[in-house]
Amino acid sequence: MNRLTTPFGSYELTRFPADPRDRLRAWDAADEYLLRHLDAGTGERGPVDLAGAGQITVVGDRWGALTTALAAYRPTQITDSSLTRAATEGNLDRAGIGTAKSTVTLLTTQDAPPERIDVLLIRVPKSLALLEDQLYRLAPHVHEGTVVVGAGMVKEIHTSTLRLFEKVLGPTKTSLAEKKARLIFCTPTAPGAARAAGTGPWPVTYTVDEDGGSGAGLTVVNHAGIFCADRLDVGTRFFLQSIPTNTDGARVVDLGCGNGVVGTAVAVADPDAEVVFTDESYQAVASARATYEANVPPGRRTAEFRVGDGVAMLEPGSVDLVLNNPPFHSHQATTDATALRMFAQSRKVLRTGGELWVVANRHMGYHTHLRRLFGNSEVVASEPKFVVLRAVKREARQRPM
């Protein structure tokens, strides 16, 4: 936990889930730059009076720093991350603010935006596709008087980023850089037909080719922001050539499901399997649901779709098989913390004899962590870049990490 001091107050902030060993802060220089700009009251078309600005919407707030600092102005936060939402709730509680409707409104990227947006603040996401989808969704709700300010680190803002703002909303320019952060100023113009209707190119649909292992022939639906949105990524392709599909009616979890192609492949191969799709991304779980529905007949057993922190919401000992392609990035930071948390959660929810299957870049060295946690780790398949690992929950409990 660290203290962020802003023109609007000083706040103790943390990421979610809180980890005292995590040295990464819940904000960065782009958040600080944006808050300083808002306090200075100098928008592109004159002063920004936040107290009388009307509806303020904050999009892509990483861990709730912006929402917490601006809580007095009753903003609406829109996020794709359930972890961001949980972090925001925790940070607001620590600030003594809470999330009552009279203060802050928390929405997801799958919810309808506020009907009219007067100030739009956007943290530029890592995915240009997600930014495109967000801008198209929000465009019908801004007007020619809306103040639009984006923020990001210099390495996150490219010419393509600015062109996207220009294409969907209107004339765009950037600020000078400060502490390797930059602001984006956009002046909305009268909407075109696509913008007025809120229509963009997402979601994208494609068919897995014959080299896609057990996923061959499946229709995949990808909402914006999902990894490798227009094709099957190489790690998942390799995983689909190895995963067990004769599950004999087991309860199977597609952990960090993304577009859901792995869990859907199991459901198609074994109509009696009980498949649970989980991801911390609302866009991902919406994609998984759409992929499942595009491939599985309506009469088949209904799957579960859960948004949240891994499998923390599932009962201990309730799962037979976990399939996992873990991420190794948290926004711009490279970390194995998410994967290790997924492994520990998986062990908890697996029944005795249950299995965790993981595909990962070989250099991550996950076999060491699995052996320490489960007491065993087996290489199921390997190639120069990727490895598929299998760990079994034994009768005797191993000492946790």
Most confident segment among 101-110, 176-185, 392-401: 176-185
The pLDDT of residue 231 is 86
Please tell me the least confidently modeled range out of 97-101, 224-228, 396-400.
396-400
Task: Taking residues 65-70, report their average pLDDT.
Answer: 97
CA angle 110, 114, 120 (to 5 degrees): 100
CA distance 3 to 229: 37
Mean pLDDT of the chain: 91
pLDDT the model gives residue 310: 94
Inform me whether the pLDDT recorded for 400 exceeds 50.
no
Which tens digits make up the pLDDT trace of 365-382?
999 999 999 999 999 999
Tell me, what's the pLDDT at 74?
95
What is the percentage of the chain residues whose pLDDT exceeds 70? 93
Residue 396, pLDDT > 70, answer no
Q: So where are the chain's domains?
A: 2-197, 204-392
DSSP letter for each residue of 47-109: ---GGGS--EEEES-SSSHHHHHTGGG--EEEESBHHHHHHHHHHHHHTT----TTT-EEEET
Architecture of the domain made up of 2-197: 3-Layer(aba) Sandwich (3.40)
| CB 136 within 8 Å of CB 113 | no
> Which pLDDT belongs to residue 56?
97
Strands 2-6, 9-13: pairing kind: antiparallel
Q: What is the pLDDT of residues 118-177, one digit of tens each?
A: 999 999 999 999 999 999 999 999 999 999 999 999 999 999 999 999 999 999 999 999
Q: What was the pLDDT predicted at 99?
A: 65
pLDDT of residue 46: 52
**CATH topology classification for 204-392:** Rossmann fold (3.40.50)
Q: How confident is the model at residue 331 (pLDDT cuts 50, 70, 90)?
A: very low
Express each pLDDT in 101-130 by its tens digit. 568 999 999 999 999 999 999 999 999 999
Query: Where residue 401 falls among pLDDT bands split at 50, 70, 90?
Result: very low
- Residue 230, both tokens: 């227009």
Find all residues with CB under 8 Å of 266, minimum gap 6, and list them.
Answer: 214, 243, 245, 247, 252, 254, 273, 275, 323
Domains 2-197 and 204-392 share a fold: yes
Entry pTM: 0.93
